[in-house]
């Protein structure tokens, strides 16, 4: 175990909580400070776009209530100072300190960065325009639904936008989904599945407007009345959810010497490049994935944060020379209008796609994604068993025939 007596975990997220739990389970007996920008202890985010909007407030993460004095909430990190060896440009051989928004300095010997990401926002934001990232966001949106606003426009057809559309339709709202791509989730799911998803939305009463961006909003007395498209059209709305993707929270790291590029750039074992006492995990980490030849990968889903927080903490204690690469196959799942959609790997890297089970018109199918004949990704709809088989093949670097035999 590395010589550390004080470890700071910045980001009271799922990844941050898993890091704290792992540090303790691995026998670290020193001081741990978990710094969170929200007033809430770590909680489960996937229900926010589903059950919370329907009235169920249970977002419990086991172990969050046991943090005790290790948790410092309602505080935001604004600056990182990293100790460096003499003459070193970037390498960190010791610790450093974190400056919080109230001026407090938190010294550390080891650091876990788990600050996650925030939603992209349009410049103008009249009343009735919402994002969905936190429990407070979800409760505010639920209050709007309860107030009787019935005409919802969702900007962005990603998995959060799709889940909100599904929830809103089940609640009886009129829903319009505006997406800049040819089909929702086109890059993530591939053409065939994204085309199926577009039709699935429409069959479930969602009006879909594809291939155009939102230019802004129309409002009256400070309240949104419409969504203005780039072609000049206006879509009536009394409630809007903007789901246009997320941006990693790395501004507080500027000037620290860490390499920042759409996240914190990390080694395969999740150490911030050029450091030996700083790791990153969750939505903010962009690491060199050995399964894909060292390509930089950043994953924005629950399963990755859950596993990565633990691996990052374990590697921090072990030190870079004894650390193990984090090479899990990226994966996520979502439910949209009752259909289960799952992905594994990185389909966008493929040069070929093949349907290997079922068919889109049957509502149950799996598409395999290949690069040079080798599996790099898979997407399944209502076919978890077949999807998991391909996931194992991706991890093994199999050709398609070996994974499906």
Say what the pLDDT of residue 92 is.
Answer: 53
Q: Which residues pair with 116 in a beta bridge?
A: none
CATH number of 341-404: 3.30.390.30
Contact 302, 160 (CB under 8 A): no
Residue 86: band (very low, low, confident or very high) from pLDDT cuts 50, 70, 90: low
Query: Mean pLDDT across the stretch 179-199?
Result: 95
Q: For strand 339-345 and strand 246-248, is the pairing parallel, antiparallel, or unpaired? A: unpaired
Q: 312-352 pLDDT, tens per residue?
A: 999 999 999 999 999 999 999 999 999 999 999 999 999 99
Query: Mean pLDDT across the stretch 49-53?
Result: 95
What is the number of other CB atoms lying within 10 angstroms of the CB of residue 94?
15
Contact 310, 15 (CB under 8 A): no
pTM above 0.85, yes or no: yes
- The tokens of 283 are what? 């939505």
DSSP-derived 3-state class of residue 285: strand
Strand residue runs (E) in 42-195 = 71-72, 77-82, 96-100, 105-108, 110-113, 117-119, 129-130, 151-155, 174-179
DSSP-derived 3-state class of residue 165: helix
DSSP-derived 3-state class of residue 154: strand
Say what the pLDDT of residue 401 is.
Answer: 81
Judged by average pLDDT, the poorest of 61-75, 94-108, 138-152, 202-216 is 61-75
- The tokens of 310 are what? 């633990």
Q: What percent of the chain has pLDDT over 70?
A: 97
Q: Which residues pair with 72 in a beta bridge?
A: 35
Say what the pLDDT of residue 279 is.
Answer: 98
Measured distance CA(259)–CA(262) in Å, rounded: 10
Say what the pLDDT of residue 261 is.
Answer: 97
Domains 6-117+247-318 and 121-244 share a fold: yes
The arrangement of strands across the sheet holding 264-266 comes to 264-266, 285-289, 295-297
Say what the pLDDT of residue 66 is.
Answer: 85
- The tokens of 76 are what? 């935001």
Q: How many residues are given for the chain? A: 405
Contact 167, 138 (CB under 8 A): no
Contact 110, 278 (CB under 8 A): yes
Measured distance CA(318)–CA(379) in Å, rounded: 35
Residue 193: band (very low, low, confident or very high) from pLDDT cuts 50, 70, 90: very high
Contact 35, 9 (CB under 8 A): yes
Tell how many helices (H) and how many strands (E) occur in the chain.
Answer: 8, 26
Measured distance CA(284)–CA(111) in Å, rounded: 14
**DSSP code for 20:** H
* Sign of the dihedral defined by the CA atoms of residues 168, 169, 171, 176, in that order: positive
Q: Is the pLDDT of residue 1 over 60?
A: no
Instruction: Provide the mean pLDDT of the chain.
Output: 93
Rg (CA), the chain: 22
Helix residue spans in 171-249 (DSSP H): 186-189, 191-203
Measured distance CA(315)–CA(114) in Å, rounded: 15
Q: Is the pLDDT of residue 31 over 90?
A: yes
User: 6-117+247-318 adopts what CATH topology?
Assistant: FAD/NAD(P)-binding domain (3.50.50)
Q: Is the pLDDT of residue 212 over 90?
A: yes
Q: What is the helix (H) or strand (E) element at residue 313, kind and residue range?
A: helix 302-318
What is the number of other CB atoms lying within 10 angstroms of the CB of residue 177?
26
The upper half-sphere exposure of residue 65, i.e. CA atoms within 13 Å in the direction of its Cβ, equals 4
CATH number of 121-244: 3.50.50.60
Say what the pLDDT of residue 299 is.
Answer: 94
Say what the pLDDT of residue 395 is.
Answer: 95
For the chain, give every domain's residue range.
6-117+247-318, 121-244, 341-404
Say what the pLDDT of residue 124 is.
Answer: 81
């Amino acid at each position: 175990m590395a010589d550390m007596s004080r470890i700071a975990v910045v980001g009271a997220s799922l990844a941050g909580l898993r890091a704290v739990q792992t540090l303790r389970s691995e026998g670290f007996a020193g001081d741990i400070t978990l710094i969170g920008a929200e007033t809430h202890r770590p909680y489960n985010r996937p229900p926010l776009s589903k059950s919370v909007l329907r009235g169920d407030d249970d977002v419990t993460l086991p172990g969050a209530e046991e943090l005790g004095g290790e948790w410092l909430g309602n505080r935001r990190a604004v600056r990182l100072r990293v100790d460096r060896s003499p003459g070193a440009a970037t390498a960190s051989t010791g610790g450093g300190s974190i400056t919080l928004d109230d001026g407090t300095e938190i010294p550390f010997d080891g650091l876990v960065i788990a600050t996650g990401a925030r939603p992209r926002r349009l410049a103008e934001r009249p009343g009735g325009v919402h994002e969905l990232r936190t429990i407070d966001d979800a409760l505010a949106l639920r209050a709007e639904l309860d107030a009787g606003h019935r005409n919802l426009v969702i900007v962005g057809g990603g998995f959060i936008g799709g889940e909100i559309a599904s929830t809103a339709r089940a609640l009886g709202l009129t829903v319009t989904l505006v997406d800049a791509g040819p089909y929702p989730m086109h890059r993530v799911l591939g053409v065939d599945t994204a085309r199926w998803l577009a039709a699935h939305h429409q069959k479930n009463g969602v009006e879909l407007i594809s291939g155009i961006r939102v230019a802004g909003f129309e409002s009256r007395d400070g309240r949104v009345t419409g969504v203005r498209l780039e072609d000049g059209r206006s879509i009536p709305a009394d409630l809007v959810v903007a789901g246009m993707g997320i941006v990693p929270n790395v501004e507080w790291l500027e000037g620290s010497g860490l390499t920042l590029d759409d996240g914190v750039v990390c080694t395969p074992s999740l150490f911030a490049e050029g450091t030996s006492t700083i790791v990153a995990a969750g939505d903010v980490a962009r690491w060199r994935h050995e399964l894909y030849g060292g390509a930089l990968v950043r994953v924005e889903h629950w399963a990755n944060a859950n596993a990565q927080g633990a691996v990052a903490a374990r590697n921090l204690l072990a030190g870079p020379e004894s650390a193990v690469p984090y090479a899990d196959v990226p994966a996520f799942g979502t439910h949209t209008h009752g259909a289960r959609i799952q992905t594994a790997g990185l389909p966008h890297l493929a040069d070929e796609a093949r349907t290997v089970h079922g068919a889109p018109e049957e509502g149950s199918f799996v598409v395999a994604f290949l690069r040079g004949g080798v599996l790099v990704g898979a997407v399944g709809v209502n076919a978890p068993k077949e999807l998991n088989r391909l996931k194992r093949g991706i991890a093994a670097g199999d050709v398609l025939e070996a994974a499906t035999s």
